[in-house]
Amino acid sequence: MNRSARPDQPDQQALFAWADTPVARAAPGAFRDSPQARRMLDVREVYAEPAALDSPRGQQIMARLPGVRVTEVDGHWRIPSLHGNDGNIARWVRIKTETLVLGVKHTLATRPNGRSADWIAPGPSNGCAMACAYCYVPRRKGYANPITLFTNIEAIVAHVQRHVRAQGPKTTPNQCDPTAWVYDIGENGDCSVDALVCDNTADLVAAFRDLPTAKASFATKFVNPDLLALDPRGRTRVRFSVMPPADARLLDIRTSPVPERIAAAADFLDAGYEVHFNLSPVVLRPGWQRDWADLLTHLDDVLPARVKEQAAAEIIMLTHNQALHEVNLGWHPRAEEVLWQPDAQETKRSQNGALNVRYALEIKQRSLARIRQLRTRHAPWLTVRYAF
């Protein structure tokens, strides 16, 4: 790690002002070619496995990136100049903005979950162009972890279709959904940002449109108006992640500002999505209760009744990681002033040896109870699917 590198100046960027943006309102499908979209992703170089380049999806992606330099690689997991943290601290926002990796996903497996979703589907990507300070997605590749798109999307879709059909109808309601098997399709990235450069998200939304016993689900911190044109017919759940804007400005680097995510909810509902919210992560710091009360009040004030009637939420307390803490000290130490609270947190070694950090059990339980009280008081219509 290059501690002497000058840290980037992190701050949450307003990519566009949702309410006033003509492209957002007038021309769904055009956003990905807009200057606002290019502030998020302006691909200048592609690292690609040859098989990914040769695939129809790879060719489609590259046709939209004329003149972009391509470096062929043996595997999407092994790109020393991109992955890992050493030497990359000062430039990872640039890497995330300008670099794309194309690969083939060889292992297609659906895992049971049972909390947010019934199942975790094999994701169409991993990595992210955004840079949330608490993000667990970089845990395996390092923080400079640009988007890797998997180009064998037909195989991913066919796998999911087979898995859904093998389940048959869902006969027992649970916290994920009363009637549909819920498949998380975005565990390791953000499907809304992927859709700026590729149709993988569109293909999965289209596939679930024709699966009446199942529903796709993904969390997002980015408002991409192009998704409004995908016609999900109620079979895709978008979960807009929200937190007090003061926390988001410090921690949710490069994301759409929280008020924009909330303001987009009705448009997504009207376009055929189910719209839920992730109240996450809940970060404990002075004033957190007041700010979460304000956020819930804001949700209550601005969301129309039709959004409230179908909305539900997950509440997720912050978990952190010692290695990520060390990395963040090199580029965004102000974030660590709130994320790293050893007096309130306990550590647990995970199966892969990483030292994970979470709020001590008693503090966590007390805080979750308080958030539930705030919800009851300020947003009683917001069903809590689960709190963790």
The smaller minimum CB distance to ligand SF4, of residues 37 and 214, is found at 37
Which residues lie across from 345 on neighbouring strands?
359
Q: How far is the CB of 369 from ligand SF4 (least distance, A)?
A: 25
| Separation CA 277–CA 303 (nearest Å) | 12
Residue 272 makes CB contacts below 8 A (sequence gap 6+) with 230, 231, 232, 233, 234, 236
The smaller minimum CB distance to ligand SF4, of residues 190 and 211, is found at 190
Tokens of 103: 């690969």
Q: Cα dist. 194→129, 203, 227, 344 in Å?
A: 9, 12, 11, 36
Tokens of 238: 């978008």
Q: What residue type is 28 in one-letter code? A: P
For tokens 């956020």, what's the residue? 295
Which one of residues 122, 123, 146, 189 is an interface residue with ligand SF4 (CB under 6 A)? 189
Residue span binding ligand SF4 (CB under 6 A) among the ranges 53-61, 129-137, 272-280, 303-311: 129-137
135 binds ligand SF4, rule: CB under 6 A: yes
Q: How far is the CB of 221 from ligand SF4 (least distance, A)?
A: 4
Residue span binding ligand SF4 (CB under 6 A) among the ranges 82-90, 106-114, 130-138, 372-380: 130-138
130 binds ligand SF4, rule: CB under 6 A: yes
| Separation CA 18–CA 28 (nearest Å) | 13
Cβ-contact 314, 387 below 8 angstroms:
yes
Q: Sign of the C-alpha dihedral, residues 54, 230, 110, 219? A: positive
The smaller minimum CB distance to ligand SF4, of residues 55 and 192, is found at 192
Which one of residues 37, 120, 121, 128 is an interface residue with ligand SF4 (CB under 6 A)? 128
Tokens of 178: 């009363």
Q: How far is the CB of 219 from ligand SF4 (least distance, A)?
A: 7
Tokens of 325: 């803490």
| Separation CA 360–CA 145 (nearest Å) | 30
185 binds ligand SF4, rule: CB under 6 A: no
Which one of residues 187, 190, 226, 260 is an interface residue with ligand SF4 (CB under 6 A)? 190
Q: Write the interaction track for ligand SF4 spanning residues 86-105; mark x where CB under 6 A is met and - where it is not.
A: --------------------
Q: Write the interaction track for ligand SF4 spanning residues 197-236; mark x where CB under 6 A is met and - where it is not.
A: ------------------------x---------------
Half-sphere exposure of 252 (CA within 13 A, CB side): 27
Q: How far is the CB of 179 from ligand SF4 (least distance, A)?
A: 28
Tokens of 141: 């590749």
How many residues would you count in the chain? 388
259 binds ligand SF4, rule: CB under 6 A: no
Q: What residue type is 364 in one-letter code? A: K
The smaller minimum CB distance to ligand SF4, of residues 140 and 209, is found at 140
Residues engaged in binding ligand SF4 (CB under 6 A): 128, 130-132, 135, 137, 189-190, 221, 255
